[in-house]
A and B are shown apart, each in its own frame.
Chain A
Amino acid sequence: MVNISVGTALLSAVLGYAVVFLGIVFLMVVIIIMGKAMKNTQKKNVAKAASSDLGSVTAPKGVDPKKVAALVAAIAEMEREG
């Protein structure tokens, strides 16, 4: 395909641009799915950590146990990330 007509060039240009977009959109969708999968996995891990740590922690008197659970889960997550 050395010497090409103007029509063929126009078609190639439009097709090429479309291929770039399609490729990028496909990749974008895959990355969004990967991001969502990672987020779900992290939520499950945090929930697991919160439920396993909750049993070993007693809330001091006058402190909301839910707040304690949330703090413990956050600390467990930080330790995991670090």
Chain B
Amino acid sequence: MDILGTLQKLALESGFGQFFEPGGWKYLVMIAIACVLLYLGIGKKFEPLLMVGIAFGCLLANLPGSEMFHQELWDAYIAGDAGITFTTIIHEGGLLDIFYIGVKAGLYPSLIFMGVGAMTDFGPLIANPKSMLMGAAAQLGVFVAFFGAVLLGFTGPQAASIGIIGGADGPTAIFLTTMLAPELLGPIAIAAYSYMALIPLIQPPIMKALTTEKMRQVKMEQSRPVSKTEKILFPIIVAGVVILLLPSTAPLIGCLMFGNLLRECGVTDRLSDTVQNAMMNIVTIFLATSVGATMGAERFLTMQTIKIIVLGLIAFAISTVGGLLMGDLMYFLSKGKINPLIGSAGVSAVPMAARVSQDVGRKSNPNNYLLMHAMGPNVAGVIGSAIAAGFLLSVFGG
């Protein structure tokens, strides 16, 4: 037995050996990126519940020889190769390929939306339905970024997936991207969750630029109380109306409203608790790691990723502008009764964007408590971004 030859063969076939093959350096770069994302998630607490999973999924998939994720299997599946089905992937794929089936089937984002619905109190929105207009206006960034992406050379489905970053809604972005442009899932997920974590840095300068000190000091009247019956009827009515209007929103809006109904009906507390906690946590683990696994070197280390990162930031900023402009309009129309700062909460990063409205408002008027008022546009933004996604899916879904 040639001991030296055997050792040499083992070394070359090991993961370490594969770093020295042509293109092997890209794995090292992706491992470094995974480490940076882990630092952002753990050290800087950037959306840690998703970021840590995405980062570790990226790390696992980019360790040469791990065979945890096979992009070529999914490329063949997407191309419609008759021989590749979910069953094939279960038999021939790695662990993260099996996790990814839930992403590709649109299951995980829908289940996460169910959890979001179970955690959301739509009371402030029901009490002040006009605040929904700010949630609608804050989707401006979606369509501006979509247009910008087409100008930069992206295809229609890719541009739609990039644009939805402006909706500031992770599950919606993942849902739409999986359907329209799965090859961009990694950078879009990173952009979406990173910018959501950076909302306290991105929004305040825009809020100060588009409002005056007098506007920011407006103290809003307490909202009317909302009855339990209204809170029970709300998810049923919203699900019916929105899905009939735009059937492609059914998975997201349906699950969001089902989760909310479980919370509000008062007779399914156990289910509500499970959906908000155990189920959400389990799905988050599977979703995050499998999304991270799609960040292969060949796909991620491209100029496209840089363009997506820049367009994502533009989308976020312009969504904030859209919500604030509607807030300004409502301030004037209401003769100074509505504080325009709540308009920036129309981006659907719940409850972070509402908290930012509260914090900026209190800097101008320490006695001002805008949080519950801002929750109205904030949760309206969730519905607005789902409608935007539904529209883009129906146009580009094929």
- List A residues at the B interface (Cβ < 8 Å): 1-4, 6, 8-10, 12-17, 19-21, 23-28, 30-32, 34-35, 38, 42, 81
Q: What residues of B have a CB within 8 angstroms of the CB of A12 in the complex?
A: 146, 156, 395
- Do residues B391 and A20 form an inter-chain contact, with CB atoms below 8 A? yes
Give the CA-CA distance A42 to B224 in the complex, in Å: 14
Contact with B396, one of A1, A24, A35 (Cβ below 8 angstroms): A1
Give how many B residues have a beta carbon under 8 Å from the other chain's beta carbons.
43
> Could you list 16 A-B pairs, sorted by A, with CB under 8 Å?
A3-B155, A4-B155, A12-B146, A13-B144, A13-B147, A14-B143, A19-B387, A20-B391, A24-B133, A24-B380, A24-B383, A24-B384, A24-B387, A28-B132, A34-B230, A38-B229
B51 at the interface (CB under 8 A from A): no
Chain B interface mostly: helix
B307 to chain A, nearest CB (A): 15
Q: Smallest Cβ distance from B97 to chain A, in angstroms?
A: 26
Question: Which residues of chain B are within 8 angstroms of A14 by Cβ–Cβ distance?
Answer: 143
Q: How far is the CA of A11 from the CA of B392 in the complex (A)?
A: 12
Bound state CA distance, A1 and B229, in angstroms?
A: 44
A4 touches B143 (CB 8 A): no
A74 to B144, CA, bound (A): 52
Report the minimal beta-carbon distance from A46 to chain B, rounded to whole angstroms: 13
Q: Is the interface of A mostly helix, strand, loop or mixed?
A: helix
Residues in B with CB closer than 8 Å to A6 are 150-151
Return chain A residues, CB-CB under 8 Å to B129: 28, 31-32, 35
B140 located at the interface, meaning its Cβ lies under 8 Å from any Cβ of chain A in the complex:
yes
The answer to whether A27 and B132 touch across the interface, beta carbons within 8 angstroms, is yes
Are the CB atoms of A16 and B144 closer together than 8 Å? Answer: no
Which residues of chain B have a CB within 8 Å of any CB of chain A?
125-126, 129-130, 132-133, 135-137, 139-140, 142-144, 146-147, 150-151, 155-157, 159, 227, 229-230, 233-234, 237-238, 241-242, 245-246, 380, 383-384, 387-388, 391-392, 395-396, 398
Cβ-neighbour of A21 out of B136, B147, B157 (below 8 A): B136
Chain A hits for B147, CB < 8 A: 9-10, 13
Beyond the given pairs A6-B150, A20-B387, A23-B245, 14 more chain A to chain B contacts, judged by CB atoms under 8 angstroms and listed by A's residue number, are A1-B395, A9-B151, A13-B143, A13-B144, A16-B395, A19-B387, A24-B387, A25-B133, A26-B245, A27-B132, A34-B233, A34-B234, A35-B230, A38-B230
Report Cα–Cα, A13/B392, bound state, in Å. Answer: 9
